[in-house]
């Protein structure tokens, strides 16, 4: 971390013992002003400021669930627009330093003041979505397994050099896309199952396996066993991807993690449950593949939002070689 927040807070608290208002500059190499501060009531805050001339045409942030943002009247900042951010839900106070550090890193990565400001606003918006839709208890079991599957596939893409052409723009699962990975001419849906017998793949909508928009639609399936203190944890999978992807894709990856609801501040929730991969399958979804699509539902007026199960053994006749699938993905990503 570029600044030791614990030391900064300790210093500000010592200065603030008699009440008042304290602040200190952080990430001083950034193109916009960044500060940590403490008010008389010991409320912690974060300030960011930029010249009006650099950001006048850019959107301004708004408060939301969990995050309060206020524009300050600060003559001492001269011709700068100044905003203060605080966390309004004390249940999330443990996240404050993580949120601020993350925002500051985004701002510090850019040489332009307006771009740094935009990166700050965008990252705040992503954190606002996180607080709006995620609970203190962390990700549900189903979401954890799904994320593990998607992380496993990202590693496959990195090893297959597919990310060189596509980047991580192909990872659309966190953002509610119909398929988890979307390329120019093909898509991949990731599915995870955990039952040892009578394995089933759960499909959550009539669009997930509808490949009409693509030349090729694939299904990447992992059969997992879940063990306490054994196998690979979700944290280890995240760290593995962080090591395996090119540095310039890190921001896209972290954005996807936050959109899913995974944050490092909750790593302790995912440190014991491990996943053991028992089987990996690559299927091509084509004619006669067992599925329900929108076309099928057109014949049954009034039916929608379907959720159904597919037997894994029935899908075996649609299996494709990993190399065959990745040759197609690689060609699509370079197209």
| CA Rg value for the chain | 23
pLDDT at 54: 87
Of the candidate ranges 23-32, 59-68, 281-290, the one whose mean pLDDT is the lowest: 59-68
Distances (CA, A) of 28 to 36, 76, 156, 272, 283: 12, 18, 38, 38, 51
More confident site: 61 or 198: 61
Mean pLDDT of 119-137: 87
Model pLDDT for residues 219-237, shown as the tens digit of each residue: 999 999 999 999 999 999 9
pLDDT band of residue 331 (cuts 50, 70, 90) is confident
157 contacts 140 by C-beta, under 8 angstroms: no
pLDDT at 93: 78
- Measured CA to CA, the distance from residue 304 to residue 302 in angstroms comes to 7
| pLDDT > 90: percent of the chain | 64
Nearest by Cα to 191 from 226, 153, 156, 219: 219
Of the candidate ranges 90-99, 249-258, 294-303, the one whose mean pLDDT is the lowest: 90-99
Mean pLDDT of 57-78: 85
Model pLDDT for residues 84-114, shown as the tens digit of each residue: 999 887 777 778 888 999 999 999 999 999 9
pLDDT at 2: 46
**pTM (two decimals):** 0.85
Other CB atoms within 10 A of residue 164 CB: 13
| pLDDT > 70: percent of the chain | 97
pLDDT at 14: 85
Look over the chain and give the mean of its residue pLDDT values, rounded to a whole number: 90
pLDDT at 1: 43
Model pLDDT for residues 176-221, shown as the tens digit of each residue: 999 999 999 999 999 999 876 668 999 999 999 999 999 999 999 9
3-class SS letters over 197-259: CCCEEEECCCCCCCCCCCCEEEEEEEEEEEEECCCEEHHHHHHHHHHHCCHHHHHHHHHHHHH
pLDDT at 24: 93
- Measured CA to CA, the distance from residue 222 to residue 145 in angstroms comes to 10
Model pLDDT for residues 267-278, shown as the tens digit of each residue: 999 999 999 999
Give the rounded distance of the alpha carbon of 233 from its chain centre.
17
């Amino acid at each position: 971390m570029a600044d030791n927040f614990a030391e900064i807070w300790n210093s500000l608290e010592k200065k603030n013992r008699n009440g008042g208002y304290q602040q200190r500059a952080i990430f001083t190499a950034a193109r916009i002003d960044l500060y940590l501060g403490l008010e008389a009531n010991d409320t912690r805050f974060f300030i960011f400021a930029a010249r009006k001339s650099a950001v006048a045409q850019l959107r301004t942030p708004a408060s939301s669930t969990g995050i309060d943002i206020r524009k300050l009247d600060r003559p001492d900042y001269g011709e700068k627009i100044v905003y203060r951010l605080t966390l309004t839900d004390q249940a999330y106070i443990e996240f404050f330093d993580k949120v601020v550090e993350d925002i500051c890193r985004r701002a510090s990565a850019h040489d332009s003041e307006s771009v740094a400001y935009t990166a700050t606003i965008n990252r705040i918006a992503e954190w606002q979505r996180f607080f709006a839709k995620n609970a203190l208890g962390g990700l549900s079991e189903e979401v954890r397994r799904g994320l593990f599957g998607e992380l496993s596939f990202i590693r496959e893409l990195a090893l297959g050099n597919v990310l060189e052409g596509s980047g991580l723009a192909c990872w659309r699962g966190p953002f509610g896309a119909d398929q988890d990975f979307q390329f120019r001419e093909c898509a991949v849906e990731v599915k995870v199952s955990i039952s040892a017998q009578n394995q089933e793949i759960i499909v959550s909508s009539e669009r997930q396996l509808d490949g009409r928009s693509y030349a090729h639609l694939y299904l990447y399936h992992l059969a997992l066993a879940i063990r306490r203190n054994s196998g690979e944890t979700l944290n280890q999978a995240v760290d593995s991807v962080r090591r395996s992807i090119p540095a310039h894709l890190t921001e896209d990856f972290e954005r996807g993690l936050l959109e899913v609801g995974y944050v490092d501040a909750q790593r302790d929730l995912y440190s014991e449950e491990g996943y053991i991969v028992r089987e990996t399958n690559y299927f091509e979804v084509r004619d006669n593949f067992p599925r329900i699509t929108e076309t099928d539902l057109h014949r049954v007026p009034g039916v929608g939002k379907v959720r159904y199960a597919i037997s894994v053994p029935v899908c075996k006749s649609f299996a494709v070689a990993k190399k065959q699938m990745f040759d197609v993905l690689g060609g699509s990503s370079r197209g």
